[in-house]
Structure 1
């Protein structure tokens, strides 16, 4: 079920009303049934994968905690990881791995799969379960933290199942830790007007970001990336620039709606963004972007790799970013995008002392340094995202090639609509101004801290904006595919 659908507009109020009507002892069951319905509304047959992941990690968590020998604990941890990673490989990466292995052997003249076998079975027929990358990583973090002795296992299988499938963040995160979310799911939450207000406002903000801004930018982006051989290089540059903001607003919109939906029921989800566009370095950008997932990679992959000096820190960065790229999708474009960011991050870290020496020699003020860092960082991030958006590597390289092939053309109005182009820039400016002053987590203060008359006026303006400027097509969120 999409957040930006009429089904959700009916489903969500029913869930909130039922939540507060029921005794808190039975709310877990209401939310669990609602969460499973939410997931099954999109692809009912694949709910079995969610249940398998839940049951395996529930069992492994308890057995790990009760095991006396470290080898037994490690065995259950391996079972948990193999199950979750196995589900990912079969349902997300099987076709990717099989085609790349076949290509490798074809290069040496070895035929692994006969043509008739390819015709009789197509790996593309395997469905990609939405949200599988999110809920498998969430349950793995639960198992790993029990193995490390950081948390105790949840004995109530229903409440654990709710932790795995909680509908606001089930499909695209944030990736919540059990130590943070499970205690909330077991608490007796009283209805509070402030929670309802803040939650509804955050959801409204998310719908505005998605329907009015992100989807509008997506129209220009789609047209620009449809013609990577365009003779108008400025339109390609603008297309990559718009995509940087499109993916940010699209993902931020989902997160805002998820956080708002949980907030209306008194639950606090982790903030997934912290003004990443204002970052003045790559290091800072990756601390502010998709925070729950980057923290997951840091805690469960990076730290174990560099522990006791097993692997150098810089090499570990490349391993982490390689996994980050594959996590985003079964396509080399995501891997190249992620490894380019790893290279730029390592380059920034390794040249830090040299750059600071040059800045000191030139006596550049701090604000000038930050401005240079911001311009350079945003430009390079925008260029790497060309790989993220492109369907294949040849498309991305052609796009970048023509992007930097300067011609006597200043044409950027590829949609033949100057109003839409102007509106896109204005909307980016408005959103970034709001984020600059309120950040990603306090947007609701724009409304709650105003007099009643102003609030009513803002509500009217919001409704008119959605009616007049929302893009009339039901686009799924970009991160649904991951």
Structure 2
């Protein structure tokens, strides 16, 4: 009966945000459940129809609730550009009034992945509706991932699980680490970032450079914090969710970064978009990469800023692949060591990433350009825009501390800092850790950044 309790808890968790929107979650679940069963027993033509139904319903829900207002506004902008009459905003339906369901991009992709895997014959359809509904709605990763694969999570939901104190300890450590990353580190960096982005003209120069760097770390710690909490919560109950990060800020190439950042999304795009474009449609590798990053950008939000951010990252990856041979010749001619090449690669990738994230953070393309223009207008060395040197010093210290932990233990072995210690030392660490959170946490009620996606 465990699935009943977990399913009820998951639906209650989701309905806490907006009860009526749970109907969309249920609709995706019902459609993909029956499409999966239908595909397994149908002929090739009917299988395609079932898959098309699954894709149409899920993408249709995503389009209406996340992108309809965006594309409508963009279309009206095109009409205005060519001098054609636009619809009357007073009489037209205001699509921005549609409430964006929390986590809709995550659970639609998760259930779509299930349908595609059944269609390809890689997995058998789940015949127990309750277990399948739990796979779609499993509360730890429902609203912000990781986007789980059916062949990983479904078997776990069906196996018998016994109380395991080791799993509980490890899960609680991961959750505590996630809370620390969010309310002590990410939200603290957010104070500086929000202040700088509030008026780029007022804080031109070095404060904008520092804010751009801080936002890179803020979004990383904010998102990886949720992932750590999700993995920890699932682990306490005996379930193993996939890791979503693998020390991405130590990447020395664009390819390496995207193999380490938001791993569940990039692998989803690789398996269900890139390979079909390249293999089935015979599209060139570079064009397929560009289209994938266009979709990655749009997946993040209904705004051209996200699209530009995605395409900028796609462009860097394309340039990296296209110039690989040329760069190897230059490196050999200059006689650069592997370590030097790695450091130079890290500087280029991180610098490029920080600049691209300005579009991610800005409310509009115009605001992003405005930020960039003023960022490179340096008139003095003043950076303390919060007028609090302790907070600024603490921010740098926390970044260095977290990066040191990730460098030594990665994102997936945080528990090793604690579990192998003696009992007195372990409890000293626990108590110290709790006191750090109590004294240094920010009470901002700041939601996770990826909740909006």
TM-score bracket, normalised by the shorter chain, equals over 0.9
Measure, in 2, the Cα distance between the counterparts of 1:113 and 1:157.
45
Measure, in 2, the Cα distance between the counterparts of 1:352 and 1:61.
42
When residues 114 and 202 of structure 1 are mapped into structure 2, their CA distance, relative to the original with a 3 A threshold, is same
Q: Tell me, what secondary structure is at the counterpart of 2:71?
A: helix
2:22 match? 47
Instruction: Give CA deviations for 1:139-174 in whole Å, capped at 9, x if unaligned.
Output: 000000111010110001010000000000000000
Match of 1:470 among 441, 445, 451: 441
Measure, in 2, the Cα distance between the counterparts of 1:107 and 1:393.
17
Q: TM-score, normalised by structure 1?
A: 0.93
Contact 1:230 1:402 (C-alpha < 8 Å) held by counterparts: no
When residues 233 and 197 of structure 1 are mapped into structure 2, their CA distance, relative to the original with a 3 A threshold, is same
Deviation of 1:304 after TM superposition, in Å, equals: 0.6
Contact 1:232 1:412 (C-alpha < 8 Å) held by counterparts: no
Q: Give the gaps of 5 or more residues in structure 2.
A: none
Instruction: Give CA deviations for 1:401-451 in whole Å, capped at 9, x if unaligned.
Output: 1111232x1010000000000000000000000000000000011010111
2:316 match? 344
Measure, in 2, the Cα distance between the counterparts of 1:90 and 1:308.
28
Equivalences for residues 24-173 of structure 1 within 5 A? 26-68=1-43, 70-118=44-92, 121-173=93-145
Measure, in 2, the Cα distance between the counterparts of 1:87 and 1:44.
17
Measure, in 2, the Cα distance between the counterparts of 1:192 and 1:406.
57
Q: Tell me, what secondary structure is at the counterpart of 1:463?
A: helix
Match of 1:413 among 384, 406, 411: 384
Contact 2:196 2:203 (C-alpha < 8 Å) held by counterparts: no
Contact 1:230 1:236 (C-alpha < 8 Å) held by counterparts: no
Q: Does 1:441 align with 2:412?
A: yes
Equivalences for residues 349-368 of structure 1 within 5 A? 349-368=321-340
Instruction: Give CA deviations for 1:311-358 in whole Å, capped at 9, x if unaligned.
Output: 100010010000001100000000000100011111111111111111
Q: Give the gaps of 5 or more residues in structure 1.
A: 1-25
Deviation of 1:308 after TM superposition, in Å, equals: 5.6
Query: 425-434 or 398-407, which moves further after superposition?
Result: 398-407
Q: Tell me, what secondary structure is at the counterpart of 1:117?
A: coil
Instruction: Give CA deviations for 1:16-64 in whole Å, capped at 9, x if unaligned.
Output: xxxxxxxxxx000000000000000111110000000000000100001
Match of 1:285 among 257, 278, 283: 257
Measure, in 1, the Cα distance between the counterparts of 2:123 and 2:202.
55
Instruction: Give CA deviations for 1:106-150 in whole Å, capped at 9, x if unaligned.
Output: 2222224124313xx321211000000000000000000111010
When residues 443 and 231 of structure 1 are mapped into structure 2, their CA distance, relative to the original with a 3 A threshold, is closer
Match of 1:457 among 408, 428, 441: 428
Q: TM-score, normalised by structure 2?
A: 0.99
Measure, in 2, the Cα distance between the counterparts of 1:117 and 1:61.
42
Q: Tell me, what secondary structure is at the counterpart of 1:256?
A: helix
Measure, in 1, the Cα distance between the counterparts of 2:212 and 2:363.
14
1:395 match? 367
Measure, in 2, the Cα distance between the counterparts of 1:153 and 1:380.
43
Contact 2:252 2:345 (C-alpha < 8 Å) held by counterparts: yes
2:201 match? 229
Measure, in 1, the Cα distance between the counterparts of 2:89 and 2:373.
36
Runs of 4+ in 1 over 3 A off after TM superposition: none
1:21 match? none
Measure, in 2, the Cα distance between the counterparts of 1:35 and 1:231.
44
Deviation of 1:309 after TM superposition, in Å, equals: 6.7
2:303 match? 331
Measure, in 2, the Cα distance between the counterparts of 1:79 and 1:309.
21
Q: Does 1:267 align with 2:242?
A: no
Measure, in 1, the Cα distance between the counterparts of 2:414 and 2:247.
12
Measure, in 1, the Cα distance between the counterparts of 2:171 and 2:350.
31
Deviation of 1:273 after TM superposition, in Å, equals: 0.3
Q: Tell me, what secondary structure is at the counterpart of 1:162?
A: helix
Query: 84-93 or 359-368, which moves further after superposition?
Result: 359-368
